[in-house]
Amino acid sequence: MSLRHSYTLISPFYDAALAAATRATRARSLAGLPVAPARVLLSGVGTGLDLPLLPAQHRYTGIDLTQAMLRRAVPRAGQLDFRCVQGDAQRLPFADGSFEHAVLHLILAVVPDPVACLCETARVLAPGGQVLIFDKFLQPGRRAPLRRLLNPLLRRIATRLDVVFEDVLAEVPQLIVESDRSALAAGWFRLIRLQRV
């Protein structure tokens, strides 16, 4: 089953599973957006759970693989300057330097190729731009046998359990870490802020 197909099927249940559990952490991450108006990419915008938490001064572009997710996101935009694009976060349909900031919430551990996703994010960011990440990552060197055992099944349906962020970042030298904080589940979920050099 492809991710496009599985996320089309789970889109009606996605909010019930994630909205309440992640709202406060999403808000903490999004507090990292600047005050000055900017162009912001929401990569893997999903059903738009971030949209009600966003400051109004920016211009937002949300991209997601599935039309079913985007249909749920649009009503959440309210008065935001928001446009949605159906597309692949691993092959972004935007020119180099199109955005000043990017939000990657629960996407790097979903896509089949997180390195491609982060490389594409770096490509479309202007120098000095920031990336706000909220996701689940294995700690370097951690064995996590149960997560690795479940990964082959879950990665086909919804998400990966084996992504080591440090390994992904090592392949994207244009991005450097500004902050990295534990968020949920004893540090499995992290809030990371990167800068484009």
Least confident stretch, 7-16, 52-61, 68-77:
7-16
pTM: 0.85
pLDDT of residue 149: 52
Boundaries of domain holding 187:
3-196
Q: How far apart are alpha carbons 137 and 147 in whole angstroms?
A: 11
CATH number for the domain harbouring residue 113: 3.40.50.150
Burial 17-40 (b: 16+ CB within 10 A, else e): ebeeebeebbeebbeebeeeebbb
pLDDT digits (tens, 9 = 90+) for 164-178: 999 999 999 999 999
The total number of structural domains that make up the chain? 1
pLDDT band for position 153 (cuts 50, 70, 90): very low
The answer, yes or no, to whether residue 3 has pLDDT greater than 50, is: yes
Name, in order, each residue with C-beta under 8 angstroms of 173's C-beta and a sequence gap of 6 or more: none
